[in-house]
Structure 1
Amino acid sequence: MTKNIILDNINNPEVLEASYQSSPSEFIGDFKQALETHNESETLKVWHARLNYGNSTTNPRTNPRTNMPIGILIVLCLIAGFIAKLPTFFHIDDNWYFPRFIPLAVIGTVIFYFLNMMNSQKIRKVVAGGLLACTVYAVLLPNNTSSASIAMALIHLPLLLLSLLAVSFMSDKWESVQSRLSFIKYIGEVGIYSVLILLGGMVLTGITLGLFSLINLSIEEWYVEYIVVLGLVSTPLVATYLFDAIQKRQSKFSIILSNVFSPLFLVTILVYLIAAIYQGESPYSNRAFLIIFNGLLVVILAITIFSISGRERKNTTHITDFINMALIGATLMVNIVALSAIIFRWAEYGVTLNRVVVTGANLLIFIHLALLLKQYIKQVWYNADPLELEVTITKYLPVYSVWSVIVVVVLPIVFQYK
């Protein structure tokens, strides 16, 4: 077995057709790999002609699962906006409501988008049950603004919701490496589309308010309270629709941008470390400096993962691979410094929930980066299977989901919601 469903079933047309119908994006990923190594195959030539007939980005068969009517999309956007405005309608405390339910409004409606197209009833019930459990938990979580455990739980609740979103996106293919890579690409693309939509919304807002001011109508307060809020909470949902229905889940920007910014971040992190040493800044004594270190880890991990997810499955090595290796290596050094600073603060100031959470997050990222660097070395110097690099990324993703459950549910109980 080659871990490639097309190569394993190249003489079984029924299986190939069933695989394509059930998950076109995964099929296309395997097809590209198969074509690189077996370009003489008549079966693959026929599939190549079929997949590229006309224009694959406009062929409705590229993604047969996309059947979301625009009317349902509008309804979901209105539901997200209504949830965001509930405190206004029913005089609910904003400080209690927004941290709990805005993530549910934004991510929850996107989850419902994919649930509408899901084939597996079992997975649909699991995701819907998880979303309901998160909602109930958010309602029952004590209202204590001075509690570090509750604050951390609310910060990590969106990460838990993203895990449910991942399962709703991948459906019954959630264990597949290709499906997990597709979800990573989806997150990157939707992030970029969301930024573009928000920038366009800012321009539209400025023009609208300017036009109405010319005729002496003041709509600023109403427009910001309703239209802007509706636009903000529904942006990820609209971006998802653009990626899924319009672009047919074809990644175009995230991989390109990650490859562009990888060398820039490498230079930035090296210069930053040198400047920090020169200035005498220390994460052992400067808490803000330590927070910046941790934020840098997350950003670089994301850029590295996006870059690797778009890497061609070839044994040939590109300059991007060496840049990613150097970036991962430099980030690991930053991570070691951050971990040592956290341990120092443990010894100096004692154990707190915040330090437990930060330590756990740093360890998770450190292990993931170390595994990626190890596999990259095997890939570059020992010609390991390129698929193993993708496996290293995707097999570790559930660890982050488990960690989010621990922070959201377990740690508040352990620290008695303090």
Structure 2
Amino acid sequence: MTEQNAHAALEEQIDQWRAYVQRRRAISAADVDEMEDHLRGQVTDLTAGGLDDDEAFLVAVKRMGNLDDVSREFAREHSDRLWKQLVLVPDEPGETGRWRELGVVLALAVAAGIWVRILVDASGGDDVVVVRNAVFAVLPFLAGYFAWKRQVSWRVSATLLAVTAALALVVNLYPFEQGPDDGPGMTGFLAITHTPVVLWLLLGVVYAGGAWRSGARRMDFVRFTGELAIYLVLIALGGGLLIGLTVGTLSLVDIDIEPFLEDWIVPFGMPGALLVGAWLVEAKKNVVENIAPVLTRVFTPLTIVMLVAILVALLANGPLTAVDRELLILMDAILVLVLFLLLYSISARDPLAPPGIFDWLQLVLVGAALAVDAVALTAMLTRIAEFGFTANKVAALGLNLLLLVHLAWAAWLGLGFARGRRPFAEAERWQTQYLPVYAVWATIVVVAFGPLFAFA
């Protein structure tokens, strides 16, 4: 290997190391610069002592002192590299801290379960009350875990707690009308469905350690959300199988455990799964990060096929005025799913990798989503012109307009990156900058739609 090639290989390794530190530890840019200077200084000293660039890099990473944990994780992820054996030591520090953290998570899970159980008893059998307040009974405990883990300031914690309490008062004290079958009316239903969106994005502030302006930490929260969803699906599948086998076995001996399931397993199992899943994401990030790119590459083409089929069905089904309201709601859900897939794909992508075929495939995905969104907007505007405004139509129209802006600019930035005219950082930055818009809209739906539409 020539000296020029060796130097290029060293620069590539340092770039990978820097990107890894930025992505996994959410360290400020200034700290990363300082760490990189230290690493380069170590490499320079070692090459002056007779080592070649590759050997000097291996030893320098090993000598990074306070970065032992980062180096160890970096080594584990890049297991094909020789220097894994130099960096990855068998006795990792912090195992006691991990068990202590798990103890905190389990204690919070039990507390959340108790709170849900109290809520069920206090509701007097009113399922609407339980559904309306379940999110307030669970998410604050998850926020408490991250506040403890990230050492969030009391000022930030108190502000978020006050906002959460205000939302709880709005949802419970507004005189929402009752809908058919003793369910909530439309504005009540919208409040119930949009409140979790607001609280989840507020949770992102806690997850970011209060640094909610940081685009990198917002993207970390997007990555966390996707990985948590994967863990929750796995936990649900495993738990459902275990419960099903238990119920089937005991039913053979005439033991009915369904009351026990309803009274104890469900109230404690659901918040427990959420908190334990969050802990698993934090403790075992490498497990899901290694399969995340595979998942996005599998589901992206499948989602494109689904969107194209939906678009063809809508256009071939006669005038848009004939589009069913439930179908429009389902289309909105599909578009939100596409948005999640886009966000997670961007969060899982190596920011240093050059544009490739998959980036063009994502452009096709966004383009198909934009076409479906345009058809849905046309159908909604047609229905509004014919039947007038209602709370659910305005909420759906607002969501579709937000998705249109988000996806359209994402497509423009993605096209620029795929053609080599824009850096990937611009496309990534747009995703994180736009996220608070959804929080603002969801808050408007929860707080303002009740009075605007007479709580109907």
The TM-score range, normalised by the shorter chain, is 0.7 to 0.9
1:143 deviates by 4.8
1:278 deviates by 4.0
Q: Equivalent residue for 2:351?
A: 313
1:312 deviates by 1.8
Amino acid corresponding to residue 89 of structure 1 in structure 2: D
Cα separation, 1, equivalents of 2:92 and 2:217: 20
Cα separation, 2, equivalents of 1:43 and 1:141: 63
CA contact (8 A) 2:355 2:420 kept: no
Amino acid corresponding to residue 27 of structure 1 in structure 2: I
Cα separation, 2, equivalents of 1:235 and 1:388: 35
1:166 aligns with 2:198: no
For the structure 1 residues 331 and 309, does the alpha-carbon distance in structure 2 shift closer, same or farther, using more than 3 Å as the test? Answer: same
Which shows bigger deviation, 73-82 or 390-399? 73-82
TM-score with structure 1 setting the length: 0.84
User: Which aligned pairs between 1:3-82 and structure 2 lie closer than 5 A?
Assistant: 25-27=25-27, 41-42=40-41, 45=57, 48-49=61-62, 50=68, 51-53=70-72, 56=76, 69-82=101-114
Cα separation, 1, equivalents of 2:348 and 2:94: 19
For the structure 1 residues 283 and 318, does the alpha-carbon distance in structure 2 shift closer, same or farther, using more than 3 Å as the test? Answer: farther
Q: Equivalent residue for 1:13?
A: none
Amino acid corresponding to residue 298 of structure 1 in structure 2: V
CA contact (8 A) 2:136 2:168 kept: yes
For the structure 1 residues 47 and 279, does the alpha-carbon distance in structure 2 shift closer, same or farther, using more than 3 Å as the test? Answer: farther
Cα separation, 2, equivalents of 1:43 and 1:175: 33
Q: Equivalent residue for 2:147?
A: 115
1:346 alignment partner, one of 384, 387, 394: 384
Q: Equivalent residue for 1:391?
A: 429
Cα separation, 2, equivalents of 1:218 and 1:93: 21
Q: Equivalent residue for 2:83?
A: none
Amino acid corresponding to residue 129 of structure 2 in structure 1: Y
Q: Equivalent residue for 2:167?
A: 134
User: Which aligned pairs between 1:89-100 and structure 2 lie closer than 5 A?
Assistant: 89-90=121-122, 92-100=124-132
User: Which aligned pairs between 1:375-390 and structure 2 lie closer than 5 A?
Assistant: 375-390=413-428
1:301 deviates by 1.2
Cα separation, 1, equivalents of 2:425 and 2:33: 10
Cα separation, 2, equivalents of 1:297 and 1:116: 35
1:364-410 deviation line (CA, Å, top 9, x unaligned) = 01000011011012112243121111101000011011111111112
Cα separation, 2, equivalents of 1:31 and 1:261: 36
1:208 aligns with 2:246: yes
Secondary structure of the residue aligned to 1:142 is: coil
1:332-369 deviation line (CA, Å, top 9, x unaligned) = 11111111111111110111111111110000010000
Secondary structure of the residue aligned to 1:293 is: helix
1:27 deviates by 3.3
Cα separation, 2, equivalents of 1:138 and 1:193: 30
1:317 deviates by 1.3
Q: Equivalent residue for 1:3?
A: none
Cα separation, 1, equivalents of 2:94 and 2:175: 47
Amino acid corresponding to residue 103 of structure 1 in structure 2: V
Cα separation, 1, equivalents of 2:453 and 2:235: 41
Amino acid corresponding to residue 207 of structure 1 in structure 2: L
Secondary structure of the residue aligned to 1:344 is: helix
Unpaired segments ≥5 residues, structure 1: 1-6, 11-15
Q: Equivalent residue for 1:103?
A: 135
2:189 alignment partner, one of 146, 151, 159: 151
For the structure 1 residues 61 and 357, does the alpha-carbon distance in structure 2 shift closer, same or farther, using more than 3 Å as the test? Answer: farther
For the structure 1 residues 281 and 105, does the alpha-carbon distance in structure 2 shift closer, same or farther, using more than 3 Å as the test? Answer: farther
Q: Report the RMSD for the aligned CA atoms in angstroms.
A: 3.5
For the structure 1 residues 111 and 322, does the alpha-carbon distance in structure 2 shift closer, same or farther, using more than 3 Å as the test? Answer: same
CA contact (8 A) 2:320 2:378 kept: no
Cα separation, 2, equivalents of 1:226 and 1:283: 47
1:302 deviates by 1.1
2:118 alignment partner, one of 69, 78, 86: 86
Cα separation, 1, equivalents of 2:367 and 2:31: 33
Cα separation, 2, equivalents of 1:324 and 1:61: 41
Unpaired segments ≥5 residues, structure 2: 1-10, 44-56, 63-67, 78-89, 180-184
Cα separation, 2, equivalents of 1:188 and 1:47: 34
Amino acid corresponding to residue 145 of structure 2 in structure 1: Y
CA contact (8 A) 1:315 1:385 kept: no
Amino acid corresponding to residue 90 of structure 1 in structure 2: A
Q: Equivalent residue for 1:360?
A: 398
For the structure 1 residues 350 and 296, does the alpha-carbon distance in structure 2 shift closer, same or farther, using more than 3 Å as the test? Answer: same
Cα separation, 2, equivalents of 1:143 and 1:168: 31
Q: Equivalent residue for 2:6?
A: none
For the structure 1 residues 379 and 205, does the alpha-carbon distance in structure 2 shift closer, same or farther, using more than 3 Å as the test? Answer: same
For the structure 1 residues 272 and 135, does the alpha-carbon distance in structure 2 shift closer, same or farther, using more than 3 Å as the test? Answer: closer
Q: Percent identity?
A: 28
